[in-house]
Structure 1
Amino acid sequence: MTARDKDPQPDPGWYYNTRTGEVEHGELSRAIDRLGPYPDRETAQRALEIARARTEEADAVDEAEREWEEGRDEA
């Protein structure tokens, strides 16, 4: 992709502000208070649900790896 092909005004994305509970279009607040970017307002509104699901998935992978390691150690 050449510089000429890049969008000169790309969409700034949608963010969920964890401090205020509000959805923002663009990087309006401090990065530490934001989740995102998300492609649209509706997805940003579900940011906490999405984060919770991703955390549960990662925890399940960690637990499976831990069990596998424990099984290897016993063999």
Structure 2
Amino acid sequence: MTEDPNPDQGWYFNPRTHQVEHHDRGRASDLLGPYPDEQTARRALEIAAERTRQADAEDAEFDD
């Protein structure tokens, strides 16, 4: 495997391992992100839950 000369600079959260990952990352299917920084990546599950609540509220509004 060759090293990428332009690696992705994003931060990711791996819900399988509960680890924040940056340059050395797991499989894309195991990651949430990219996020702009480590602190935001650490909040990935909280961010995902909030986005889900927001989407559910929009769906409920649309259904009415």
TM range (shorter): 0.7 to 0.9
Q: Which has the higher helix share?
A: 1
Q: Where does structure 1 lack aligned partners over 5 or more consecutive residues?
A: 1-7, 68-75
Q: TM-score, normalized by length of structure 1?
A: 0.73
CA contact (8 A) 1:12 1:26 kept: yes
Task: Give runs of ≥4 in structure 1 deviating > 4 Å.
Answer: 8-11
Q: TM-score, normalized by length of structure 2?
A: 0.84
Residue 52 of structure 2 is matched in structure 1 by 55
The structure with the larger Rg is: 1
Bigger relative CO (Cα 8 Å, ≥ 6 apart): 2
| Shift in CA distance, 10/32, structure 1 to aligned 2, threshold 3 Å | closer
Aligned residues: CA RMSD: 1.6
Aligned residues: 60
